[in-house]
Amino acid sequence: MKHKMLLGGMAAAIAVCSMPSFGRTAATRPADNEVILHAWTWSFDTIAANMPLIAKSGYDYVQTSPAQACYVGDGGGRALFSKPGDSIMGKWYYYYQPTDWTIGNYMLGNRDSFKAMCDSAYKYGVKVIVDVLPNHTAIDHHAVLPGLDHAVGGHDKLYHANGFTEIKDYNDRLQCTTGQMGGLPDVNTENPDFQYYYLQYVNDLINLGARGFRYDTAKHIGLPSDPLDAKSKKNNFWAVATGKEGAHGLSMLMPDSIYIYGEVLQDKNTKETEYAEYFDQTASSYGHALREALASGDAKNHDIINWHHPVAPEHLVSWVESHDTYCNAHESAGLTDDQIRAGWVILASRQGGRPLFYSRPAGSTRENYWGNNRIGARGNDEFFHPEVVAVNYFRDKMSGLPESITVSDKGDLVQVGRGNKGASLVNISNKKVKAKMSTALPDGVYTDGVHGTIFKVKNGTLTGNVAPLTSYILYASDVK
């Protein structure tokens, strides 16, 4: 549920909403009033300490980085990304290299700190999503801990027959779902012994307070229609992981109370509609289109209305950028914080999707992407910028109302209307603009609650002066 506290200067009226029902099997879920904060590389203690601010800023979920045991690289250093000769070594992606499926790692914290974080989340009405990755182990597979090898019947049974063969064609489903990706050997997720062991990890997370999972590299785990690896009898991992089936008599706890979505990066042969039978998915193509519009300052020649996905938008997790687009090829890292924020207001104003706000590193600039370069620290202040908070609450208040998106003739202004009850207005250009757009808002004078800017609506036309890369939230209830 949204939290009924606003940062200083906020003037939006907030409607009370009921605690939602989660789970892929639920008939309806309020995707159009929820938002996720991706607390990327924040430690469990850091997330817990910032939970009051997370709640006050209007987030329904906080997503952690991977919590399982992981490869200890660069001598256990905690730099986000180091180069030879740096005073502190480390790489953020080591926690994406599992050595066991037990709670706690040297980068984010131990089991007790994970529980304390979940307890804090419960206190403030926030739900915890954990990034999980059963698809592969550490590149150095000899670093896998003995308990994992024993649990699955031996080291050779931990991996697919194809698990050490590098993927060459990501649209070849056998390669994609059973092959090695970027040097990461592919786990035999169809091995019932592995499924049983992995479910113990998932259930432990749930018992400690987790209420959601983000499945990393989800499209690399096979579906029932996919070809079988030589070591597998059936592709049933997703049925097991989502509580539809058990493994050796063990099933996932609380399947109707856990929100699950998967990283299914779109390509020619990703089978989005079949994955949708099990979990929600990432709207990666939409994020790309939105970033192109932001980079050019032109939403007219880039389609940001179509979701670019065959699955209904209420089953999509949307983003302006993800940790991968920021870190891996730095695809989105060149966009300024102002541009990212403008995109967020568009995204969070929309009726569809469940938006995820990626927390960039503290101190980061467009010349220094890693900023203060420390794993465990809180990200920069953008997640509680007044414009971000305002639209988080706007999304909650507009829940259930249909959207209408209007783009100015030059493509620099985007208006997202929600019925005739409210609208956001976003200037994605770096120039001042005189707004003159059709709108469903009632005639009258409006004052934006963040900047105090005045807009007028007369005969269905919205007018006003809009600052560069700035957003405004207008409520019909505030009309004069």
User: Secondary structure of the chain: what % helix, strand, coil (to 5)?
Assistant: 30, 20, 50
Q: How many angstroms separate the Cα of 292 from the Cα of each of 43, 288, 296, 304?
A: 32, 6, 6, 9
Catalytic residue among 186, 216, 382, 448: 216
User: Where does 115-208 show beta strands of DSSP type E?
Assistant: 127-132
Distances (CA, A) of 269 to 171, 274, 351: 5, 11, 28
DSSP states of 5-24: ---TT--------PPPP-ST
Query: What HEC string does 24-78 produce?
Result: CCCCCCCHHHCCEEECCCECHHHHHHCHHHHHHCCCCEEEECCCEEECCCHHHCC
Q: In what order do the strands lie in the sheet with 316-317?
A: 316-317, 280-282, 259-262, 210-215, 127-132, 61-64, 36-38, 356-358
Distant-in-sequence, close-in-space partners of 468: CB < 8 Å, separation ≥ 6 = 427, 429, 430, 431, 432
- Cα-to-chain-centroid distance, residue 9: 28
Q: From the candidates 60, 186, 263, 321, which is the catalytic residue?
A: 263
Q: What is the dihedral of CA 66, 30, 209, 388, to 10 degrees?
A: 60
Question: Which residue, 98, 209, 77, 93, is CA-closest to 159?
Answer: 98
Distances (CA, A) of 255 to 25, 61, 209, 242: 8, 17, 14, 6
- In the residue annotation, 263 being an active-site residue is answered as yes
291 vs 152: CA distance, rounded Å: 43
Q: Which of 231, 241, 83, 66 is nearest to 163 (CA)?
A: 231
**Residue 260: both structure tokens together:** 């699950």
382 flagged as catalytic: no
Catalytic residue numbers? 216, 263
